[in-house]
Amino acid sequence: MTLEAFLASLHIVAILTLVVFLSSEAALCRSEWMNEAVVRRLARLDMIYGITALVLLLTGIARIVWGAKGLTWYVSQPLFHVKMTLFFITALISLRPTFTIRRWLKTLNATGALPAEAAIKSARQWIMVQAHIIPVIAVVAVYWARGM
């Protein structure tokens, strides 16, 4: 039971960290605040967000493999599949702003140019889509944990 609690704790810390860094990206990705420091900070935040998403996935896998319930129980649960589908949809959606922010940083380093207002708005919209899917994943997890 101690291992189960430890794995669950790591998973929750990863979830909260993910939310913090995605929220930070959403807050900073605004045309009225865009400057060189913000582009660099967004690139750093997005990198940490990506690493945190990987840690979240790995802690989830650890819970499946070493947790008390085991793989058979997890894969037999329909809400597990809903949760994982939403997670992977979010991961796919995150690629667009990630590549966009990396392109901004590359352009900034090469020419000193800042991103256009339309590009900033588009990246923020994709970040916000992720930010709205993640709470749905949490709601699914709550229902799943209560046997629904």
pLDDT digits (tens, 9 = 90+) for 23-74: 999 999 999 999 999 999 999 999 999 999 999 999 999 998 998 888 888 8
State mean pLDDT over 128-143: 94
Least confident of 9-18, 91-100, 113-122, 137-146: 137-146
Region of residue 34 (phi > 0: left; psi between -120 and 50: alpha; otherwise: beta):
beta
In the chain, the amino acid numbered 2 is T
Contacts of 87 (CB under 8 A, 6+ apart): 56, 57, 137
Within 10 A of 88 (CB to CB), how many other CB atoms are there?
A: 11
Euclidean distance between CA atoms 45 and 21, whole angstroms: 6
Mean pLDDT for all residues in the chain: 94
In the chain, the amino acid numbered 65 is V
Say what the pLDDT of residue 146 is.
78
Euclidean distance between CA atoms 80 and 69, whole angstroms: 13
Contacts of 66 (CB under 8 A, 6+ apart): 3, 7
Q: How confident is the model at residue 98 (pLDDT cuts 50, 70, 90)?
A: very high
